[in-house]
Structure 1
Amino acid sequence: MDNKTLISTEYSDCNCGKTASFYYKRKKKGNNFNIYKGRMYSCCKDIQTAVVKVTANGKGSKEDLPDYIIASQAAHDLANKFSKLCSIFVHFPEIHIAEMDTVAIFDTFIPGDCRKLSGDEFVLFEPYVKDLQNFVTREGIVTKVCPAVIQELCHFSFHQSNGDNILRGLKGSWEKNGKSFRLASPATKYFPEKCSADEIPCAITNFFSVHTCTSRCNKWLVPSQVHSSRSEHQFDNSFSDPPPPYESIDFATR
């Protein structure tokens, strides 16, 4: 009944590889990934509910997916750095790449436009985030339910990149303790060379058109400073060293 993977070959924010299993019926169809709900298994943790992402357009290869691992680790490093500035902890989950081991027999009979799995393709999986809400779209639009601390995180990413990029496409939920946020893993277009010429500038404009700086972020770099000559402006560099390898930020939906 279940699809199963081998142990993960690449992963972020994790000390060991994991395997995943997932039901043959998908939960959601996306532009880039079909989403399945399953379980993660590890030698060092209890079984966790997981989200498994299978490429929607053609068989997933090991070469297609490492950008997601790089993006997740960069987001994790950035969030850790940001969390040191405030009392609320923001966390991106680990994400894994693994090759399929077993394809459920029922998968071969799936009707409709859902792509059938192959035994030698690679998939992504990560811990499941319950009660997921959309905070900032991939276009940089801030939703009505977006908390101030998530806006601060986006502003922090803009400051850290010296105005070249901004964190976006953020979905997540409060933890039960009410003192931390768990966000879904970042997705595509982390790198400027993979974005259209106006994609990042438009996202920055959209975000700052509604963002009101707080006492925490009012000294960080803002777009008006970037539009002028950088050499002519001095701003607070207290947190300006970029996290590795923070070349760009886009946490769009897979």
Structure 2
Amino acid sequence: MGSRIIAILFQNETLNSESGSWAVFDFRPTASGKRLVAFRGIAPEHRAGDQLIKAFRQTTENDRKSARLRSLCYIENTNVAEKYLKKYGGKAITFIEIRSAEMDRVAKCSSKIRSSDGRYKRHLSKDDVVVFERDLGENFQTFIERDGTVNSNCCGKLQEFVHFVYNESKGHEIVTGLKGVVTKQGQKFKLTSPSMNSIVKKYGPDDIGEKAILNFFSSHVCTPVCSQWPKPVLMNPFNRLETDNKPQNSKTSTDTIRCQDGIRPPAYDSKWRVDFEKLGTLPLLPTAPPPYDQIT
């Protein structure tokens, strides 16, 4: 009886998922971020290991459905990244399995105690969906940020895979958020929670679109393999034209740089663009902006 009371007070528990998996986890989260909070727990099945259970925040204060949508998109992002990984081939990179389940029991104490960092304000409820995955341990690190920025600890193999996704999708999408652990003396990577981003932002509320492409290629160093693939090029350099050409010794000058007809060219629809559709059998080279006289 005493153990039952302790469980009600201090343990959260999910229902069985479609795969039959379920999780039991602490009432207090171990980490909190802008889009999710994470709890430590277990999945009572053979060799499941320690689990990290993630509950997503609402995108707006009154939009409870967005938290559920975020959890479903989180799993879909992994499924899409795995499909690209199969095309890419090799055994150096793997994504760990991610499962989801609805809440069954919410610990009574979870509504009274916040996380140690003081940022956890969202409380679980029985209609919440959480995702859970194996805890990768203390050596967990981030190689490529969710916004596409490449960190200094990121090897060429991971960067090459991201470039492959961009090339395979004909410049329409990219995978970011590569994080996890290095195994086999730096030869293999076990990763979790990849983020898919597309030009049309089709991967849910956390898809940041073209910004992720811009950030990645601003810091990406090509390998001998991916150096042969198309890369986006800056197509709208005019927003820096005025400041770059102002006189350096005059703080009061009001002179501006204008085109011959006195009108600045209009901005392109996209800052980055490669015309994959028209490449055909031609060498895979970035397209150039049209001449000024062809802009309408």
- TM-score under structure 2 normalisation? 0.66
Q: CA RMSD in A?
A: 3.0
Secondary structure at the counterpart of residue 209 of structure 1: helix
- Structure 1 moving runs of 4+ over 6 Å: none
Q: 1:187 to 1:28 in 2, by over 3 A?
A: farther
Partner of 1:132: 140
Partner of 1:7: 16
User: C-alpha distance in 2, partners of 1:104/1:82?
Assistant: 43
Q: 1:156 to 1:189 in 2, by over 3 A?
A: closer
- State which structure, 1 or 2, has the greater radius of gyration over its C-alpha atoms: 2
Q: Deviations over 1:194-225 (max 9, x none)?
A: 689x9533332332233232222233232259
User: C-alpha distance in 1, partners of 2:123/2:154?
Assistant: 36
Q: How does 1:231-246 map to 2 (within 5 A)?
A: 231-234=278-281
* 1:73 equivalenced with 2:120 (yes/no): no
Partner of 1:215: 224
Secondary structure at the counterpart of residue 82 of structure 2: helix
User: C-alpha distance in 2, partners of 1:100/1:109?
Assistant: 18
AA matched with 2:229: W
Work out whether residues 157 and 166 of structure 1, in 8 Å CA contact, stay in contact via their aligned partners in 2. yes
Structure 1: unaligned runs, 5 residues or longer = 10-15, 238-254
- How far residue 39 of structure 1 moved from its aligned partner, in angstroms, is 1.4
Larger relative contact order (Cα-Cα within 8 Å, sequence gap ≥ 6): 1
Counterpart of 1:186 (choices 177, 194, 197) is 194
Work out whether residues 79 and 92 of structure 1, in 8 Å CA contact, stay in contact via their aligned partners in 2. no
Q: How does 1:1-254 map to 2 (within 5 A)?
A: 1-9=10-18, 16-42=19-45, 45-57=46-58, 65-84=71-90, 88-111=91-114, 113-130=120-137, 131-176=139-184, 178-187=186-195, 192-193=201-202, 199-224=208-233, 226-228=273-275, 230-234=277-281
Work out whether residues 4 and 21 of structure 1, in 8 Å CA contact, stay in contact via their aligned partners in 2. yes
Work out whether residues 96 and 134 of structure 2, in 8 Å CA contact, stay in contact via their aligned partners in 1. yes
Q: 1:199 to 1:233 in 2, by over 3 A?
A: farther
User: C-alpha distance in 1, partners of 2:214/2:70?
Assistant: 30
Give the aligned length. 225
**Percent of aligned pairs with the same amino acid:** 30
User: C-alpha distance in 2, partners of 1:229/1:181?
Assistant: 31
Work out whether residues 80 and 91 of structure 1, in 8 Å CA contact, stay in contact via their aligned partners in 2. no
AA matched with 1:56: R
User: C-alpha distance in 2, partners of 1:20/1:39?
Assistant: 6
- How far residue 161 of structure 1 moved from its aligned partner, in angstroms, is 0.8
- TM-score under structure 1 normalisation? 0.76
